[in-house]
Structure 1
Amino acid sequence: MRVIFMGTPEFSVPALRMLVGAHEVVAVYSQPPREAGRGQKLRPSPVHAEAERLGLEVRTPLRLRDTKAQEEFAALQADVAVVVAYGLILPQAVLDAPRLGCLNIHASLLPRWRGAAPIHRAVMAGDAETGVAIMQMEAGLDTGPVLAEARTRIGAEETTADLHDRLAAMGADLIVEVLAGLPMKAQPQSGQGVTYAAKIDKAEARIDWNRSAIELDRQIRGLSPFPGAWCEIGGERVKLLRSRLTSGQGKPGQVLPGFRIACGEGAVEILQAQRSGKKPMKTAELLRGWTLPAKLD
């Protein structure tokens, strides 16, 4: 089939690679290059860079509401558009242009966690499982009917980064299966169990040791690697990137033997952290030559 691919971050790249091997990708749409790095040079998105490596045409419009942009999109005469974390709202004219419409790979089991940060929210909420859904797009926010889904358990020590990579691969496999079966009947989403995955606010990253160990373990894993849950250790801001529940009691913030911290209820063990200006390190390496204070802020 003639496929338009629309995506921006690293999560979208596996699906692009799979589609190139299975169909004719006639164009790739991605967010415009952004300033990044110390020199603030324009850097293409991961999808943009991968599409160029694959020799595909890349388009980076600022918006798709312009008549010209919509006409250029329709002129591609695509059978279907595959959308994976693209980042722009698709107006109805764009949704209607491909013969089979626009399909979205969404990183949750809809209708749970519609919206911007479904992987983070699933981990932070302590969900036992999540997955990917292939949805027929419509004007509402992730409200369209679902053509297929794939499920996976969330491990007790998994971070958002771990789950991100697995779901990206699952979505890539599933979209190829769905395209091979089109046209197919989509199942309307249930009106029950709807939740919204709001964009992560950096203000959510500060750790409050008065909270329970269960909550803080989920916060640490759910915000890893970005933006990274953090606390102050001896006046230094440190990101905590991996953790697990552990035994131990003490006053909230009290440092127990090893890198275990007492919480409002229970304790967490820090498995990986990142000091200011340094790379992420496992606990054994981190504590080599670094003495923790008796209590963390």
Structure 2
Amino acid sequence: MRLAFMGTPDFAVRSLAALVEAGHEIACVYSQPPAPRGRGQTLQPSPVHAFAERHGLPVRTPVSMKAPEEIAVFQALNLDAAVVVAFGQILLRDVLEAPRLGCFNVHASLLPRWRGAAPIQRALMAGDPVTGVQVMRMSEGLDEGDVIATETVRIGPLDTAGTLTERLAEAGARLLPPTLAAIEAGTAIETPQSAEGATYARKIKSAEARIDWSRPAAELDLHIRGLSPFPGAWFEASSEKGPVRVKALLSRVEEASGAPGTVLDDDLLIACGDGAVRLLRAQREGKSAQDAADFTRGFPLAAGTVLA
């Protein structure tokens, strides 16, 4: 088919690669505009934009798909369908109705649970045992369209938002080509979403990232893994040069007790409001992420230390 692909982060690259491999004609790739990244804050293309350029695909990076001139360009592509994967912009009806067969979204949750911007993080932070990826027909409502295909993914006890994103991206890439083939053949079954059980996965805010050691260990473990690797749940530890911010990137719950925020041994076991978490991976400000053993060799947190 003649397709447009609209996506921005690494999560979307797998789906675009699957469409290219399946032999579809990619008339245009849409992505968010280049943004400042890295220590130098130089403008860099998104992962989808970079992939498209490497494969010789035409790219557009509109500031807004609501602009009349952008809608006109999209309509003039004469598409069979458009695929949207974590694009990051709202599409108006004139865009949704432009392709012959419609616009289809790959969404990383089991709808109607976790509609919105951060479904992977929110599923982990809520302690969901299972999530998944779905292909749906896009409508003007936020992630409210009819579901066409589903693959479920179990969330493991050591999953982070990073590892879960990888698995869901792979699942979406597997699901997409056969689903598009069914849509083109007219054999796809479109199922309306349930009217009950809808939840909204609001965007992660930086204020959520600080760790509150007074919370139960089970909650903090989910908090840490749900925000790893980005933005990273964090706490402060004292050093000779003053407070140091440390990101907790992987943890597990253990049975132990103490005053919340107190380090209970020399291997990063930290007391919480109920129980304790052992940090398995951490990152000092300005340093690379490290497994616990390497982290404590360079920045020991001795038993009895109280973290903020």
Normalised-by-shorter TM-score class: over 0.9
Is 1:261 equivalent to 2:273 in the alignment? no
- SS of residue matched to 1:26: strand
- SS of residue matched to 2:105: strand
Correspondence list, 1:167-186, <5 A: 167-182=168-183, 183=186, 184-186=188-190
Question: Normalized against structure 2, the TM-score is what?
Answer: 0.94
Structure 2 Cα separation of the partners of residues 40 and 264 of structure 1:
39
Query: 1:290, CA displacement in angstroms?
Result: 2.9
Correspondence list, 1:138-149, <5 A: 138-149=139-150
Equivalent residue, structure 2, for 1:116: 117
Correspondence list, 1:277-288, <5 A: 277-288=286-297
Query: 1:254, CA displacement in angstroms?
Result: 1.5
Equivalent residue, structure 1, for 2:208: 204
Query: 1:38, CA displacement in angstroms?
Result: 3.6
Equivalent residue, structure 1, for 2:245: 237
- SS of residue matched to 1:248: coil
- Residue 225 of structure 1: which of 229, 237, 248 is its match? 229
Structure 2 Cα separation of the partners of residues 147 and 289 of structure 1:
51
Equivalent residue, structure 2, for 1:9: 9
Structure 1 Cα separation of the partners of residues 35 and 258 of structure 2:
46
- Size of the aligned set, in residue pairs, is 297
Structure 1 Cα separation of the partners of residues 54 and 145 of structure 2:
32
Question: Normalized against structure 1, the TM-score is what?
Answer: 0.98
- SS of residue matched to 2:177: helix
Is 1:247 equivalent to 2:252 in the alignment? no
- SS of residue matched to 2:95: helix
Query: 1:289, CA displacement in angstroms?
Result: 4.4
Is 1:162 equivalent to 2:163 in the alignment? yes
- SS of residue matched to 1:203: helix
Structure 2 Cα separation of the partners of residues 239 and 88 of structure 1:
30
- Give aligned-pair identity as a percent: 57
User: Is there any run of 5+ residues in structure 1 with no aligned partner, and where?
Assistant: none
Equivalent residue, structure 2, for 1:188: 192
Residue by residue over 1:48-80, the C-alpha shift from the partner in whole angstroms, topping out at 9 and shown as x without a partner, is 000000110001111122322112111111111
Please identify, of 225-234 and 179-188, the stretch whose mean Cα deviation from structure 2 is larger.
179-188
Structure 2 Cα separation of the partners of residues 44 and 244 of structure 1:
36
Correspondence list, 1:1-150, <5 A: 1-22=1-22, 23-150=24-151
Is 1:296 equivalent to 2:296 in the alignment? no
Residue by residue over 1:113-171, the C-alpha shift from the partner in whole angstroms, topping out at 9 and shown as x without a partner, is 00000000000000000000101001000011100110011001110000001101100
Structure 1 Cα separation of the partners of residues 35 and 260 of structure 2:
41
Is 1:274 equivalent to 2:283 in the alignment? yes
Query: 1:291, CA displacement in angstroms?
Result: 2.7
Query: 1:247, CA displacement in angstroms?
Result: 2.1
Partner letter of residue 296 of structure 1? L
Q: RMSD value over aligned CA atoms?
A: 1.0
Please identify, of 176-185 and 123-132, the stretch whose mean Cα deviation from structure 2 is larger.
176-185
